[in-house]
Amino acid sequence: NAGVTQTPKFRILKIGQSMTLQCTQDMNHNYMYWYRQDPGMGLKLIYYSVGAGITDKGEVPNGYNVSRSTTEDFPLRLELAAPSQTSVYFCASRSSGAQPGFDSNQPQHFGDGTRLSIL
């Protein structure tokens, strides 16, 4: 059981380049999240999804885009990389719980992170 898998683990980009951070989970979770963690700081929510085809903005969405075409995959796109986007990016997923129609907000499962540097 792989859980949440993020690729790549490390990446260096030049200013203005674009890239996609991949995230896939094999737990059939409806909820998926992207966070960024700046040095010495907590996690800031970038985007999240409550199911395939549904995405919404978090606290810091500017400069990013997401899509959710399948339950398993939730890629994060940086279109024009800027030095301010240098960070560690975490993808997470969670279940809504066993009871149909009731979200019991189960704990999030995190990927190992992607360390991204923009130079």
Binding residues for another protein (CB under 8 A): 31, 33, 35, 41-45, 48, 50, 56, 58-59, 88, 90, 92, 103-110, 112-113
Q: Which of 78, 47, 43, 44 is nearest to 63 (CA)?
A: 78
Nearer to another protein, 31 or 64 (CB): 31
Nearer to another protein, 30 or 67 (CB): 30
Nearer to another protein, 14 or 99 (CB): 99
Shortest reach from residue 112's CB to another protein, in Å: 6
DSSP 19-72: EEEEEEESS--SEEEEEEE-TT--EEEEEEEEETTEEEE-S--TTEEE--SSSS
